[in-house]
Chains A and B, each alone.
Chain A
Amino acid sequence: MIPASSQPERASIGLVKIWGEGQVGSRVSLLSFTRHILRRALGNLRRSPVTVALSVVTISVALFLLSTFTLLLHNCTLAVSREGGDLMVMVFLKDSASKSDVERLSGEFGRLMPGGKVAFTDKSAALKNFRSLLGEDAAMLEGLEKENPLPASLDMQAVSPEQAEALYAETVSRFQGEPAVESIRYSRGGVQQIKKILSVVQTAGIAGIVFLLIITGFIIANTIRLALYGHRVEIEIMELVGARRAAIAAPYVIEGLFQGVLGALVAIAATFALFGALKSFLAQADALTAVFPSFQFLGAEQLGLIVLAGAAVGMAGSFLAVRRFLSEG
């Protein structure tokens, strides 16, 4: 032990001179701060490539399921819309219907569906159509020319399935029971069934995918949390030197954003490969070509949403992880 009185003189390092006048380190710039955040984010990504790759794979699997589902749903919806566009509401007329009845009803039906078409099929044209429909079996209709049992009809072609639906409801409510009208038909059964199934599939699929994305978010959160434990000394030092929580969290949120976007791009690439394979398969299957005459890839808007979903899941997962890590102290 050295007695206080005999201690050698301390050599000054000139702290006061170093600190100088005014506030030390007052030259703060947003650019320097941003550079610091990005440097840390990049450092984190470089430091743990395996963890990053695992996160990207997890996100891309979830988003691949999402984009494949969207691709199939998109094309099924297109097919139904196309089919639905051909739907007709047919109003069969009594034999007693006069020419003026036909003209009056044609005018009224035309006003019910702007843009749609109304065509009159007289009894003989109806028989002719029926003959061509029967093809080789048309011989069984021999002799019906004199007592043609088929009714004349007004055939209304709507511009969309929605318009056809509304038109049918309106026609039934206004013209069922009209003296010149025999019956009203709308051959929508099969397509409507498909639309209902598609609607259920869409709802269930979206719910499933949201669930999947939430699970993915938690996986990301846990992956980032593992990384955070690896960086705990740096985080502790940042807290010690007075870094704000947002500044501590920002690099990890950027890391999550990067992982999410990269995962989304991988998922889109995989979906595009699947799309190519499906398209060539459909080209060889005649029955399916009729249903999907032009099998289409997802549009820019849908692709943008998939990238956004990846970014959101990555960022949210990281944010949750950092918040929890910091609150654990």
Chain B
Amino acid sequence: MIHLHGVSKTYPPDQTALRGVDLKVSEGEFIFVAGASGAGKSSLLKLLFGAEKSSTGDVVIGGRNMAAVGLDGIAELRRDIGVVFQDYKLLPRRTVLENVAYGLEVLGVTQRERNRLALLLLHAMGLNDRADAYPVTLSGGEQQRVAIARALIRKPRMILADEPTGNLDQEMSKRVFDLLLEANSAGVTVVVATHNLSVIEQLNKRTVVLDRGKIIGDFSHAGRIRQ
């Protein structure tokens, strides 16, 4: 699903975010990318959904080398990727229902079809009574679940989450990760960037540790990280 080979990323004038990263992630895998702030986690995720191009090396997603993919190709690729951010990135002037359905709206999916799917997801997440509310009236946990619902609505092949629980308490964090785990159980590849070691240890999944842009560890189970 994901294959990074010798990937480096340097921002002008000379700020190096990633150095010689090699990484393989199989389809249907759940993987944490851990590291302190500034370790290169967000830069790595940006390469994965085509927001940035690597300075050197190859980034291959679903068999396609990102260096050779044009802008419309990246747009097409993103239809298979759900992205979740710490700051939710919801549209403030749209209702919860419209936010969830937005990924289908921009593609021209009929209103009936997109609302049907969005309502099903909101109902399943216990947010159906907030469908007509605006994001600003929701708690942080609710907003993040709405963002995840938007990412899930198109049955993505991969979800990329950048510090998805960074602003949430433990209970809300758990609910968010429950959703990501269920998506993973349904066959979705999940990549979560986080600096929260306790979350990583709780879920006990494969974890790649970054430090100053380099991979310093790739652990099949979180239990071995502290060792």
Contact = CB atoms under 8 A, between A and B. Distances in A.
Contacts of B68: none
Contact of B108 (A15, A30, A234, A238): A30
Interface string A18-39: 1100011111111011111000
Interface residues of B, number: 50
Nearest to A5: B204
A132 interface: no
Contacts, number: 114
B106 A247 contact: yes
A165 interface: no
B89 A24 contact: no
Contacts of B125: 13
A28 B106 CA distance: 10
Interface string A233-264: 11011111111110100000000000000000
Contact of B155 (A24, A30, A36): A24
Contact of A242 (B76, B112, B178): B76
Contacts of A234: 91
A45 to B, nearest CB: 14
Interface in B50-98: 51, 71-72, 75-79, 81, 83, 89, 91-93
A241 B91 CA distance: 13
Given A16-B186, A24-B153, A242 B78 contact: yes
A10 interface: yes
A27 B113 contact: yes
A237 B89 contact: yes
B108 A245 contact: no
Interface size class of A (residues with CB under 8 A): 35 or more
Contact of A240 (B83, B107, B179, B186): B83
A36 B98 CA distance: 12
Contacts of B201: 1, 4
A19 B109 contact: no
Interface string B134-165: 00000000000000001011110000000000
Contact of B198 (A1, A26, A241): A1
A2 interface: yes
B191 interface: no
Given A1-B201, A236-B89, A242-B78, A15 B106 contact: no
Given A18-B124, A27-B113, A241 B202 contact: no
B203 interface: yes
Contact of B110 (A27, A233, A241): A27
Contacts of B91: 233-234, 237
Contacts of A236: 89
B33 interface: no
A25 B113 contact: yes
B204 A245 contact: no
Contacts of A26: 109
A29 B75 contact: no
A10 B174 CA distance: 9
B109 A25 contact: yes
A27 B107 CA distance: 10
B136 to A, nearest CB: 13
A7 B179 CA distance: 15
B182 A241 contact: no
Nearest to B197: A1
Interface string B185-223: 110000000000010011110000000000000000000
Contacts of A287: none
A32 B112 CA distance: 10
B103 interface: yes
Contacts of A34: 108
A4 B204 contact: yes
A49 interface: no
Interface of A: 1-4, 7, 10-16, 18-19, 23-30, 32-36, 43, 233-234, 236-245, 247, 329
7 contacts: A3-B202, A11-B178, A29-B108, A32-B108, A35-B111, A240-B49, A241-B103
Given A18-B124, A237-B102, A245-B72, 13 more contacts: A18-B120, A19-B186, A25-B104, A28-B108, A29-B109, A34-B108, A233-B89, A233-B91, A240-B89, A241-B154, A242-B75, A242-B77, A245-B71
